[in-house]
Chain A
Amino acid sequence: MNPAFYLPLGLEEGLETTVQRFGPAHEALDLHLPVVQNEDLLRWIEVLREARGTNLAARPIQEVLRSLDKVTRRFLDRKDPARREAVESLATFGRFTAAMLDRSIDDAFQPLARNGLSRWIVTELGSVQVLDRPAEGVRGTVRRARGPEWMLQIYAGNVPTLPVWPIYSALVLKAALLGKTSAREPLFAPLLARTIAEVDEKLGACLAVVWWKGGTGGLDRTALSAAPAVLAFGGEEAVGSVGRQAMPGASVVLHGPKVSVGYVERRALTFAGIRGLAARAAHDVSMYDQDGCLSPHAFYVERRGQVSPEKFGEALAAALEEASKDLPPVVAEEEEAAGVQLARAQARFESAGIATVTRVLESPGSTAWTVIVDDRARFEPGPTRRTIRVHAVDGPDEVARVLAPAARSIEALGLEARGPERLKLAARFADLGIPRIAAVGSLQNPVPWGTHGGLPRLLPFVTWTTVDQVGGTSGPAKAPGAIRRRLRAAGIRRR
């Protein structure tokens, strides 16, 4: 039986639990869950707030960082029981294969190791000490950063290690945390919370991670109407409803559905480099079976390189076949497979006529991967399951034209180009408002000191105390409302 929740010591006592079946019908798994009622949530929130007051609010940040570093090292150690349990239980659950999980855990924790966590804090807040006391930060300002008393985090289930940076962010900001998992992946977040508690009991006392059926009203409303800070991931409708129900004045950051794309400049299309390039592109496509927001759905490939866009498509197909051995896809649900087949049939239909699709390459006898080569640029997110479109283009203008209307839905662009050309192209795509320009092959490796969805990860939840310097010239006062306007411009809402 798998306990798919984490509650701090004391709260588990007398708790009513139930067994619920999750997952696709062909490999549903019984999970052990608490029966969550409105009163429970309110009581837990109360207990978490108290625990934070006693254990965390006044705790030196270095102590928190040391404990989190230990947790990071445990998850990076393939022999550690916590890591092994994560890989085994999630693989049994059937949404991800063991190979994918290993890769995902490495990708999530490696950038946090070796001072990565401090680097993240310094990048956003100017220094680590500002979390303890007024300290000198950027350009000599003396200020103190304060996180919310507690945070509500709502996770999506498309990427198993998605909860890692959010959970770390809450503890770094010395906030208690109530996390709500997704039915699609309810296991990793409680496991991480339990490991944190094993490493540091006091931190563990400030965390609770549970699942309840979202969107049913009652429990969502109870949690949202009390939370001073909300970080939510999910579908358009889900995050929309979170936004509407949040408490006035709460700091709310919502991450809705996004996809990514890739761009290959013609000088990068060399005979010598094509296999390596295709392998890196195939990795970006294959991770999470293309369900992540960093998963590319299209590569825009310039004409007139040594290797043509069509040949790039062929190389990508071969690389996807290779990748399906190293990172095997999970068994498709029928709905997903049906979507892939319809996309393939549609592409074949288009390739037959005067339309521009020229080739449809696919894994034989399965929906493991599909490459659709198209002779013109367009943006048409596919049915996932490693279904990738390769569009031949003359240059970035064509691509900008098709991406512009959908730019809000694009999380990242994988860019393959060298030298000054790379910077020029990056500038062109940055103009569209695409939040991240990465190298092909590292789309799935964002770093915590970068943004998520174009937003910093800590700052939206921080309030500052600035200590003015006596005798200094602080310049003219900012017009009232200027900060709020700036925050709004950055997509952060304070209501």
Chain B
Amino acid sequence: MDSMSPGTHLWLSYAGWEACDRDEWEERFAKLARGRFVGQVPRIAPYDAYVAHLGVRFTTLRQWQDIPPVPASAFKSHDLTMGPPGSELVVFETSGTTISRPGRVRLSDTSLYDASLLESFRRHLLPDGAVMPAVVFGPTRIEAPHSSLWYMCDHVVTKLARSGVWIVRDGNPDWDLADRTLEAAVSEGTPLLVLGTTLLLAAYGERLQAAGHRFALPPGSRVMDTGGAKGLRAEFTREEIERMIEGSLGIPPTHLVNEYGMAELASQFYDDSLRAHTEGRPALPGKTIPPWVRTRVLDPETMKEQSEGARGLLVHYDLANFETPFAVQTEDLGTIRDGRLFLEGRLTGAEARGCSLTFERFLEEERRA
């Protein structure tokens, strides 16, 4: 049964869900969500205690929306994995949320995780079925073993690309290597798949512009960038990033796809730009919520469901989270319009406001002491 092992996962496919009508879809999600909940609670002790503490019982659970999400910060204070310690294949460290030490996501079986990330990546970055060499503006998985992002890129390169070059080595970007790789692609006329963080890509773009250099990567080249949407440090608007990528790499905005993800979730959310271009239609705004994920938007003041289009706190229910709680309360703010997700800021902490103190700074103090 699905709740006991990842098993076969026919439901991890966009096509499978698209074949359903709205009611079937809803019914199917509700059933799978309940199964996931019932399977996880007895096997994740802190989640079990939390659910009991809140007085939630399987028997009285009316709808999947009543399944309590774990706060993202709980990954930092508690071990929230089904498998016993030592059984894990990978350990991802969480970042960005603001309570105590980095959180850990231990996975002893990555099959669902892998299937989810490949399905969404293929759908949004390779809708034309292209297979091309990849260049990753980041480190290899070996260099960054606890990063879910670099795990994902590694996996994409291995499974979906023809070859891979990693630009970050020993923690530093090797810009010459980037130049050489892009030059080769231009001279051979081979389209490139570029993966990386928005910040690193922007840094590279700025460097090229400062040097007065512009690559005209062959048509079909595309970029997946991530991080910028969460409003980390990025002082760039999306339009500026688009101009920068087009101006420095010669890749038009139709082939620039932004991703939103987090270590606590197995699934990712992508822009529609390239898929729309391939299908010859205008791009839908916002990000695609994979059909095996439901995102609720709550009024942060009352924790009640927001109406369509109103900004609120995001809670994700991701069926591809098999070993760790599949319902996660984030610090991210956003809206849902026409079934698509719009990220609109994230908790920035009190730092920006003057006198108060953020957890990050406290941790810095702690480390210094």
Binding site for B on A (CB under 8 A): 156-159, 182, 184, 233-237, 255, 257-259, 290-293, 295, 297, 332, 334-335, 337-343, 345-346, 348-355, 365-367, 379-381, 383-384, 404-406, 408-409
Contacts and interface: CB of A to CB of B under 8 A. Distances in A.
The 10 closest A-B pairs by CB, nearest first: A156-B354, A352-B53, A337-B300, A405-B369, A345-B71, A158-B354, A293-B355, A338-B300, A352-B49, A352-B50
B222 to A, nearest CB: 33
Contacts of B238: none
B329 A257 contact: no
Interface in B99-152: 99-100
A409 B365 contact: yes
Contacts of B232: none
B91 interface: no
B277 interface: no
Interface of B: 45-46, 49-50, 52-54, 69-74, 77-78, 97-100, 298, 300-303, 311-313, 329, 331, 333, 345-359, 361-362, 365-366, 369
A367 B50 contact: no
B357 A409 contact: yes
A233 B300 CA distance: 30
A338 B353 contact: no
Contacts of A233: 354-355
A481 to B, nearest CB: 27
B72 to A, nearest CB: 7
Given A157-B353, A342-B347, A349-B71, 17 more contacts: A158-B353, A236-B351, A297-B357, A335-B348, A337-B300, A338-B331, A342-B97, A345-B71, A345-B329, A346-B74, A349-B50, A349-B70, A379-B362, A380-B99, A383-B350, A404-B369, A406-B365
A341 B50 contact: no
A365 B302 contact: yes
Contact of A184 (B99, B353, B361): B353
Contacts of B302: 365-366
A335 B100 contact: no
B46 A332 contact: no
Contacts of B347: 335, 338-339, 342, 383
B313 A334 contact: yes
A349 B358 CA distance: 21
B355 A257 contact: yes
A311 to B, nearest CB: 21
A157 B311 contact: no
Nearest to B311: A334
A361 to B, nearest CB: 15
A290 B355 CA distance: 10
Contacts of B99: 343, 346, 380
Contacts of B346: 335
Contacts of B351: 235-237, 257
Given A257-B354, A355-B77, A381 B359 contact: yes
Contacts of A293: 355-356
A257 B99 CA distance: 18
Contacts of A290: 356
B295 to A, nearest CB: 15
A184 B78 CA distance: 36
Contacts of A338: 300, 313, 331, 333, 347
Contacts of B348: 335
A262 to B, nearest CB: 16
Contacts of B358: 257, 381
A339 B50 contact: no
Quick one: which of B50, B313, B350 has the most chain A CB within 10 A?
B350
B301 A381 contact: no
Contacts of A257: 350-351, 354-358, 361
A184 B369 CA distance: 32
Contacts of A381: 356-359, 362
Contacts of B77: 346, 349-350, 355
A26 B54 CA distance: 33
A292 to B, nearest CB: 6
A380 B361 CA distance: 11
A340 B98 CA distance: 12
A101 to B, nearest CB: 17
Quick one: which of B301, B312, B352, B356 has the most chain A CB within 10 A?
B356
Given A235-B351, A235-B352, A335-B347, A380 B362 contact: yes
Contacts of A383: 347, 350
A332 B302 CA distance: 11
A409 B365 CA distance: 8
B362 A348 contact: no
A218 B369 CA distance: 35
Given A350-B77, A351-B53, A353-B46, A292 B362 contact: no
B356 A352 contact: no
B54 A353 contact: no
A337 B53 CA distance: 23
10 contacts: A233-B354, A290-B356, A291-B354, A292-B355, A335-B347, A342-B71, A348-B50, A353-B45, A365-B301, A409-B362
A23 to B, nearest CB: 13
B366 A406 contact: yes
Contacts of B303: 341
B54 A348 contact: yes
Quick one: which of B331, B346, B348, B354 has the most chain A CB within 10 A?
B354
Contact of B350 (A291, A353, A367, A404): A291
